[in-house]
């Protein structure tokens, strides 16, 4: 998915094609931060040079979402973040890219959260 400001020319679309991003600046994490994002970046640079790429910090925080809303840039995002910022609209893109999603938790989680993470890890390793 991508997120755009509510005033962006793509904001009213229900689904966009990659060609709709031509001439746009796509915000995404810097190279080396994510293998999945590195693959997307490499493919876009090779096959869709009409899309300019702007690096963001590894972890999206409110400043990244605010920058997207204020600049009119397009932000590479995931479905679970579609309501994270009131000034942005998230739109699915008709492409074959996917980004794996995991568990998010505090850097200093309580013991019960650590037990849950360990249980999820054990389950995943058995599957």
Cβ-count burial 103-116 (b if 16+ within 10 Å, e if not)? eeeeeeeeeeeeee
Give tens-digit pLDDT for 91-126.
999 988 877 667 778 889 999 999 998 898 888 777
| Closest among 64, 52, 59, 57 to 88, alpha carbons compared | 64
d(CA 127, CA 109): 25
Sheet holding 25-29, edge to edge: 52-56, 25-29, 74-76, 2-5, 88-91
Residues 47-68: tens digit of each pLDDT: 999 999 999 987 788 899 999 9
Residue 6: pLDDT band by 50, 70, 90 thresholds?
A: very high
**Do residues 99 and 29 make contact, with C-beta atoms less than 8 angstroms apart?**
no
């Amino acid at each position: 998915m991508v997120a755009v400001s509510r005033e962006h020319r793509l904001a009213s679309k229900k689904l966009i094609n990659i060609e709709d991003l031509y001439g746009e600046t796509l915000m995404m994490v810097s190279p080396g931060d994510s293998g999945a994002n590195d693959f997307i970046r490499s493919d876009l640079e090779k096959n869709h040079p009409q899309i300019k790429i702007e690096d963001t910090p590894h972890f999206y925080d409110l400043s990244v979402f605010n920058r997207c809303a204020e600049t009119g840039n397009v932000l590479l995002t995931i479905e679970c973040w579609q309501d994270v910022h009131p000034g942005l609209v998230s739109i699915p893109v008709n492409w074959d890219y996917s980004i794996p999603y995991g568990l998010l938790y505090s850097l200093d989680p309580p013991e019960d959260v650590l037990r849950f993470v360990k249980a999820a890890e054990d389950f995943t390793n058995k599957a």
